[in-house]
Amino acid sequence: MNVSHSNIDNLNAIISIELEKPDYEEKVNKSLRTYGNRANIPGFRKGHVPFSMLVKMFGKAVKAEEINRLVSESLYNYIRDNKLDILGEPMTAEDQTIDLENGENFTFRFDIALAPQIALTVDKNITIPYYKIAVTDEMVSKQDETFRARQGKQITVDALSDESDLVKGSMVELENGTVKEGGIVVDATIISPKYLKGDEKAKFSAVKVGDKVVFNPDAACESSVAELSSMLNIDREKAAEVKSDFELTVTEIMHLQPAEHDQEFYDGVFGKDAVKNEEEYTAKVREMIAAQLAPESDYRFGIDARKILEEKAGAIELPVAFLKRWLIATNEKYTAENIDEEFVKMEADLKWHLVKEHIARSFEVKVDDEDLKALALSVTRQQFAQYGMGNLPDEVIANYSQEMLKNKDSRNQLIDRATEAKIQNAIKNAVTLDEKEISAEDFGKLFEA
């Protein structure tokens, strides 16, 4: 057997595999004997089928199977051993015809696409802007309000003091200003004036315990059947027909009393003894907000880095004809009719992918199990934090992250994210960063173009 390759040009090549009968004959005979030992063939005991009979019955199929296996192994071993950097997968030469049944010696030819050489050195000679979003006192104050509300407690009050208060009471349906006979009666309901609409909202502005408020629930909910159904404790079908006024008798008003700045509060937000006074707390909140904003800065950096590094890499030529042919053959989404239009859409991203692969090789970027574990833990903490569960025990976080790693799809997503992050970090560490502090408003304007 002889395997070789010849370049058509800088981006296209052909791998040729020459097979002669001695290269595959023994493998075919061995497979036939193995099949004869296992197969149930009428008229013969298992393992006692004459070899000539096996050849007659299964020889052609086994020969084709063994030759295809040998060719496939030889092809990919050759690519690996010769460190050929290819795009896509090898494809059988378009003009090739092979008669496996009747021939003995064969030459298989495969078209391959070679990855273009990229001349790019990522070092301190390249300057890329890095925008840090300034953490303002207003951001700190809003985050403090959120924490205080989250750590606060519900208390009963005599009168509505804030539109976020909850009004509890009973309701009866009215007709011509009096209680409707056989009308809807709601023994207990909760209304949040904050979410009422139009003129109906104003009717609750100075409500007190014991007051009777006449209002129209349908108007207050802007005819939202879901909201009306919840307020009146009836099914949606019935709620869709309700247009009447109702009288609400206020029995209780619940007010959220924000937590005070004390050690119990600090421990509840950041963990026991993480901060011990107002100054440390404010600094910790500011630090937390800065960490939350950092991914936005990194995202912008990625956009700017791509633009600058693509310019530095210069024009990248692709084996377009091969790639179009390969895409049509491997993805039903692409056809001869739409491939030109579709390829234009993906060409820029494909070139950037090649640049990133070049950078990854240059800095020997690798993702190992420890990287995936660390990312899974981080993602899990972020997901729980979104629901206000920022202080879960480490073992709970670890268990959820392990489940994430066991799932094939989520694991692959983590691998992609970890690889992207490592490439971006490699770029950040290698280039010169032009750091600029910028307001959140001005940061947003960067994306308007």
Rounded Cα–Cα distance for residues 129 and 126 (Å): 10
Place of tokens 């630090």: 287
| pLDDT given at position 388 | 64
The CATH fold assigned to 153-257 is Chitinase A; domain 3 (3.10.50)
Report how far residue 172's alpha carbon sits from residue 178's, in angstroms, rounded to the nearest whole number: 10
Q: Which amino acid is at 395?
A: E
User: What is the pLDDT at residue 385?
Assistant: 73
Structure confidence at residue 156 (pLDDT): 94
390 exposed, middle or buried (CB, 10 Å; 0-12, 13-18, 19+)? middle
Helix (H) or strand (E) holding 110, with range, is strand 106-114
Q: Domain boundaries in the chain?
A: 2-114, 127-141+275-445, 153-257
Query: How many other CB atoms sit within 10 Å of the CB of residue 203?
Result: 17
> What local confidence, expressed as pLDDT, does residue 449 receive?
67
Edge-to-edge strands of the sheet including 106-114?
Answer: 2-7, 12-19, 106-114, 86-92
Residue 318's Cβ-side half-sphere holds a number of Cα atoms within 13 Å equal to 19
* Contact of 228 with 238, CB cutoff 8 Å: no
Q: What is the 8-class DSSP label of residue 159? A: B
The reply to whether CATH 3.30.70.1050 applies to domain 2-114 is yes
Q: Which residue blocks in 314-439 are alpha helix, DSSP H?
A: 320-330, 339-362, 369-385, 394-406, 408-430
| Three-class secondary structure of residue 232 per DSSP | helix
Other Cβ atoms within 10 Å of 3 Cβ, number: 18
pLDDT of 254 reads: 95
Looking at residue 348, what is its pLDDT?
A: 94
DSSP 116: P
Task: Give phi and psi for 340, each to the nearest 5.
Answer: -65, -45
Residue 333 is encoded by which pair of tokens?
Answer: 């989404």
What does the pLDDT read at residue 404? 87
pTM score of the predicted model: 0.74
| 445: DSSP letter | H
Digit-by-digit pLDDT tens for the chain (449 residues) are: 899 999 999 999 999 999 999 998 898 888 888 877 776 777 676 667 777 777 787 788 888 899 999 999 999 999 999 999 999 999 999 888 888 888 889 999 999 999 999 999 999 999 999 999 999 999 999 999 999 998 999 999 999 988 889 999 999 999 999 999 999 999 999 999 999 998 999 999 889 999 999 999 999 999 899 999 999 999 999 999 999 999 999 999 999 999 999 999 999 888 889 999 999 999 999 999 999 999 999 999 999 999 999 999 999 999 999 999 999 999 999 999 999 999 999 999 999 999 999 999 999 999 999 999 999 988 888 787 776 666 677 788 888 888 889 888 899 999 998 999 999 999 999 999 999 999 999 999 999 86
Q: What is the pLDDT of residue 47?
A: 66
Contact, 135 vs 155, CB < 8 A? no
Q: What does the pLDDT read at residue 395?
A: 84
Task: Identify the helix (H) or strand (E) that includes residue 203.
Answer: none
| Number of DSSP helices (H) and strands (E) in the chain, helices first | 15, 12
The confidence score (pLDDT) of residue 390 equals 64
SS3 label, residue 250 = strand
CB 428 within 8 A of CB 125: no
CA gap 418, 411 in Å, rounded: 10
Length of the chain in residues, anyone? 449
CB neighbour list of residue 167: distance below 8 Å, 6 or more residues apart? 160, 190, 191, 192, 193, 204, 207, 248, 250, 252, 253
Cα distance from N-terminal residue to C-terminal residue, the chain:
59
The closest of 115, 122, 94 to 325, measured between CA atoms, is 94
323 vs 39: CA distance, rounded Å = 43
Tell me if 217 sits within 8 A of 242, measured CB to CB. yes
Structure tokens at 139: 């951001």
